[in-house]
Chains A and B, each alone.
Chain A
Amino acid sequence: MPKPEQPGWLATLRPTATPNCLSELQLDALHLKTLPEAEFNMATSHVANCELCRERLALRTLEHEAFAQQFNLGHLAAATLEQVDERRPRRLWQRTLVSVSVLAAAAAVFLFVVSQENFAEFANVRLKGGLTLKVFAKRGADVFQVAPGDPLKPNDALRFEVAPFAAPLNVTHLAILSIDGAQKVSIYAADAGGNALAFEPMWGWLFEGSIVLDDTLGTETLLAVACPTAFAATPLIGPLMRSLQAEPQHRTLAPPQPDCVVEALNFNKVAP
């Protein structure tokens, strides 16, 4: 696909002396002395030969001085900490993640593996593609983001985040269900009462608490269901379990509300 010609006015947003001039990020990193050594040497060499970048760097020093004079940093820090504390109680009830194991060990093993393609054939679910769920895994001392298809391992601890603007702005409640390699359906994210968790679609949301994966191997499908108003997640389990027994084209997941969005993410849980 040919690249669109860039309108001329876009180029006026950031006049630079040369295409090699330092970006805003590089200049900030140079000023804060956080550049790796090789980049630092290249940047300082460029600044030595570029009047515009020298001016921009000097402006940063002035900005920092002005900032410290303009703001009472002690008061600002105190007010910020206070605001963080004020927001915390509102989310206390979200801290409990309930993992409900519905199938008993003696239950029949489902023969179907739910893939994202299969899930897309659920008859009355609109996969708007309007929800992006980020999944972070903690394995030992390492914390990293996992993408669909990435391997997970037993005892990995998962946390979930909806990034800012990663959901339609009218959805405010989210529940996450999972279907593991043994076709066991669980609730990964809900409150203690099995209800969806409230979040701010504008700002994004990091859900408190984490889920530790058991040692069932195979495909782990996470279903994130987000709706405009509060809803109970527990009632979704039964219909989801029943639908897994049907042929893919007959599988349904009745959304709790008309304007819900659903995202399905598949991971592969492998042996350690």
Chain B
Amino acid sequence: MDRSELEQLYRDYGPTVVRRARAILGTEAEAHDALQEVFVILLEKGATFREESAVLTWVYRITTNVCLGRLRRSKRHHELLQERGNELLSNASTTARPDSMAMLRQLLCEAQADEAHAALCHFVDGLTHSETASVMECSRRKVCYLVERFTARARERWNLAPQGEDHA
């Protein structure tokens, strides 16, 4: 791929990568850091790209994997555990609305890769199980299982209603 082709690829898919990375990682700076990583992997894995899969689902998949990797490595994970984990686990009667994305990120760090990927597609991107299966290149049944498992984990950790009440 030459530079002009890559520029066009950035033009077409770069905004999607940044938007998803920002949603997953939480900051603009981290999203921009993830952007180039995603495209490096896209170029390196280009040889295995199966054209019957949409480029977009491929971009989604790689973006999610890169961001999950960053999330797990990030020091922010420890900050989240310190700031949000203790607060949420010990302050059961809080009336403040929990930061749903912070809670999600904590769960994503703890979940296995496939489970985290399915959760992101389903709960953040709003993909159906079929769409998620297409992005993850697995069966719909597996996606259902992964989403259920993540939901059970979320319920076990923080079963809070939107009003912030503890339903433990």
Mark contacts of B3-18 with chain A using CB atoms, 8 A cut-off: 1 yes-contact digit, 0 otherwise. Answer: 1101100111011101
- Output the least CB separation between B123 and chain A (Å): 5
The main secondary structure of chain B at its interface with chain A is helix
Which one of A161-169, A225-233, A249-257, A263-271 contacts B? A161-169
B74 interface hit (Cβ, 8 Å): no
Contacts A34-B54, A67-B18, A136-B48 given: A203-B41 contact, CB under 8 Å? yes
Query: Do the beta carbons of B7 and A73 come within 8 Å of each other?
Result: yes
Query: Do the beta carbons of B113 and A63 come within 8 Å of each other?
Result: no
Interface residues of B in 51-82 (CB under 8 A from A): 54-57, 60, 65-66, 68-69, 72-73
Contacting residues, chain B, for A161 (C-beta < 8 A):
48
How many chain B residues sit at the interface, stated as a range, is 35 or more
Interface residues of A in 158-187 (CB under 8 A from B): 159, 161, 163-166
- Output the least CB separation between A142 and chain B (Å): 9
How many chain A residues sit at the interface, stated as a range, is 35 or more
Instruction: From the candidates B19, B57, B65, B155, name the one contacting A5 in the complex (CB within 8 A).
Output: B155
A54 interface hit (Cβ, 8 Å): no
Query: Do the beta carbons of A32 and B11 come within 8 Å of each other?
Result: no
Q: Which chain A residue has the least Cβ–Cβ distance from B157?
A: A7
Query: Do the beta carbons of A25 and B60 come within 8 Å of each other?
Result: yes
- Output the least CB separation between B165 and chain A (Å): 9
Which one of A74-82, A211-219, A238-246 contacts B? A74-82
B101 interface hit (Cβ, 8 Å): yes
Mark contacts of A103-139 with chain B using CB atoms, 8 A cut-off: 1 yes-contact digit, 0 otherwise. Answer: 0000000000000000000000000000000001000
Q: Which chain B residue has the least Cβ–Cβ distance from A14?
A: B126
A11 interface hit (Cβ, 8 Å): yes
Query: Do the beta carbons of B131 and A13 come within 8 Å of each other?
Result: no
Contacting residues, chain A, for B96 (C-beta < 8 A):
none
Instruction: From the candidates B11, B14, B66, B101, name the one contacting A13 in the complex (CB within 8 A).
Output: B101
Contacting residues, chain A, for B162 (C-beta < 8 A):
8-9, 11-12
25 A-B pairs with C-beta separation under 8 A: A3-B148, A4-B148, A5-B155, A6-B154, A7-B151, A7-B159, A9-B100, A13-B100, A14-B124, A23-B131, A24-B127, A63-B19, A73-B10, A76-B10, A77-B4, A80-B43, A81-B1, A136-B48, A143-B48, A163-B65, A164-B65, A164-B68, A203-B66, A204-B65, A206-B48
Chain B contacts to A: CB under 8 angstroms: 1, 3-4, 6-7, 10-12, 14-16, 18-20, 36, 39-41, 43-45, 47-48, 50, 54-57, 60, 65-66, 68-69, 72-73, 98, 100-101, 103-104, 112-114, 123-128, 131, 135, 137, 148, 151-152, 154-155, 158-162
